[in-house]
Amino acid sequence: MDFALNKEHEMVAGTVRSFAQREVAPVIAKNDEMQYFDRDILKKMAQLGFLGICIPQAYGGAGMDYVSLGLVCEELEAVDTSLRVILSVHTGLSSMTMLTWATEEQKQKYLIPQARGERIAAFGLTEPNAGSDVVGILSTADKQGDSYILNGEKMWISLADVADQCLIYAWTDLDKKKRRDHSGISCFIVEREMGLQTGTIHGKLGIRAGNTGWIAMNDVRVPVENMLGQEGEGFKIAMSALENGRYTVAAGATGLVRACLESSLKYCKERQAFGKPIGEYQLIKEMIAKMVCDYDVSRLLYLKAGWMKNEGLRHTREVALAKWYACDASEKAAADAVEIHGAYGYSSDYPVERYYRNCKAAVIYEGTREIQKLIQADYALGYRIDNPVRKTLPKWLPDE
């Protein structure tokens, strides 16, 4: 088993690291303070091919593998979580889902512009009353002739105010809705121009430099050809999308652990207490050692999931474990980093305060920590068995 990154992987990681340090690191503290989302960053990321990093060149992407996607997410979140969220939503939840489920016509119309960054995509599953409980959504899609009429509201939608199109999940079978039968949910590709209304959520604890908002649908007319997959496949599509999202979140959380470690190492060598650098004290070393361990474990877990994606293997358990572990690790690392920095860690003078606020969201979205624990237990107990019929990402092959 080879754990070494190839030259392409190293090049990708280095390019993203340089980009993030050059374009974002100097301004991120101010953007976070002002709760300002810099839309220009999307254009810059598109120009470098980040937004379609793992989408085949035939569909407008960079044609790199899923390990490359993980490395991009790690490097982006090592600077700020808001950058990684863009990849999670636009690429992981939307473009990769289209790559699996879309018709050729849909790929030509929607996937290619997304992979090129010409159009930005969002993912509309969560609602004010429904998060982990997917069948609790209330949005409906009523078929009328050659269209569906969508009504409902989505909440906590990343990129809501900047997206050109969104994958929207809604009930197409109201009888199944009453029975909470998830086979009554369908997925639609909905363009903003079709009538989506959006707004931004302010006052978030963290990821303040990212755009998070709501989407309202009031008799939005969507052509039947904009249904993704078949009627009633929305739940399966959402679950496959969340596997992609969990992968990007795990890789990003790994980057946050690394950021906490690097900031703490630097401070340990600068700060003295009782006549010597604080890094020489055993309790500080214990926290540093835990960060080192958690970084390596988190990285190995997401790289394994990335390898499985490359091979076209089912990876529900593995990616859930990577997401659970890395997000827990980032929360612990951020808390310890603040403690290592003492009073300064509680202020915006150092980035660890922002890391501490940012880390919490990842424990919740793309499946809460509790959901990931249930997945692991159900596999171990034999209550959950993979369905070989359910679609996975196509096996990655280099473009000719």
The residues annotated as belonging to the active site are 366
Residues 6+ apart with CB under 8 A from 49: 61, 62
CA-CA distance, 47 to 311, in Å (whole number)? Answer: 28
CB 364 within 8 A of CB 370: no
Q: Which of 362, 370, 351, 359 is nearest to 333 (CA)?
A: 359
Which residues are paired to 276 by β-bridges?
273
Read off the DSSP letter of residue 131. Answer: S
Kindly write down the DSSP assignment for every residue of 273-331, as one continuous string. Answer: ETTEEGGGSHHHHHHHHHHHHHHHHHHHHHHHHHHHHHTT---HHHHHHHHHHHHHHHH
Query: Could you tell me which of 84, 81, 179, 167 has the C-alpha nearest to residue 126?
Result: 167
In this structure, are strands 165-171 and 185-191 parallel, antiparallel, or unpaired? antiparallel
- Note whether 49 and 60 are within 8 A (CB): no
Angle, CA of 387, 88 and 63, to the nearest 5°: 80
